[in-house]
Structure 1
Amino acid sequence: METSRYLLSILVDNEPGVLSRIAGLFSGRGFNIDSLSVATTDDPVVSRITMATTCDAQTIEQIKKQLHKLINVITVTDLTEKKYVERQLALVKVHANPEKRAEILRIVDIFRCRVVDVGHAHYTIEISGDSGKHEAFLSLVKPMGIVEIASTGAIALAREMGK
Structure 2
Amino acid sequence: MSDTMQRTATIAVLVENEAGILARVVGLFSGRGYNIDSLTVAPVDEERRLSRITVVTSGTEMVIEQIKAQLDRLVPVHKVSDLTREGPHLSRELALIKVVGAGDARIEALRLAEAFRARVVDATTESFVFEMTGNADKLDAFIALMRPLGLAEVCRTGAVAIVRGPRGLHA
Q: Give me the identity figure in percent.
A: 43
Select 1:27's aligned residue among 30, 46, 51.
30
- Higher mean alpha-carbon deviation, 125-134 vs 140-149, is at 140-149
Task: Tell me by how many angstroms 1:118 deviates.
Answer: 1.2
Query: What's 2:151 paired with?
Result: 146
Where do residues 9-158 of structure 1 align in structure 2 (5 Å cutoff)? Answer: 9-44=12-47, 45-81=49-85, 82-158=87-163
Structure 1 residues not aligned, in runs of 5+: none
Q: Distance in 2 between matches of 1:57 and 1:131?
A: 22
Post-superposition offset of 1:55: 1.5
Per-residue CA deviation, residues 6-59 of structure 1 (Å, 9 max, x unaligned), is 100110000111111100000000111111100000344000001101212111
One-letter amino acid of the structure 2 residue matched with residue 92 of structure 1: I
Equivalent residue of 1:134, what SS?
helix
Deviations 1:99-136 (A, max 9, x none): 21211111111111111111232211111011121112
CA distance in 2, matches of 1:71, 1:42: 18
Counterpart of 1:160 in structure 2 is 165
Aligned length: 162
Structure 1 counterpart SS, 2:129: strand
CA RMSD of aligned residues (A): 1.4
Shift of 1:161: 5.5
TM-score relative to the length of structure 1? 0.94
The secondary structure found in structure 2 opposite 1:99 is helix
Runs of 4+ with >3 A deviation: none
Partner SS state of residue 104, structure 2: coil
Task: Tell me the distance in 2 between the aligned counterparts of 1:146 and 1:3.
Answer: 31
Counterpart CA distance in 2 for 1:96 and 1:55 is 40
Letter in 1 for 2:67: I
Which of 8, 13, 33 is matched with 2:11 structurally? 8
Aligned to 1:41, the other structure's residue is in SS state strand
* Residue identity in the other structure for 1:77: S
Deviation for aligned residue 1:96? 2.2
Q: TM-score, normalised by structure 2?
A: 0.90
In 2, distance between residues paired with 1:80 and 1:140?
28
Cα shift at 1:5: 1.4
Distance (Å, rounded) in 2 between the aligned partners of 1:101 and 1:85: 32
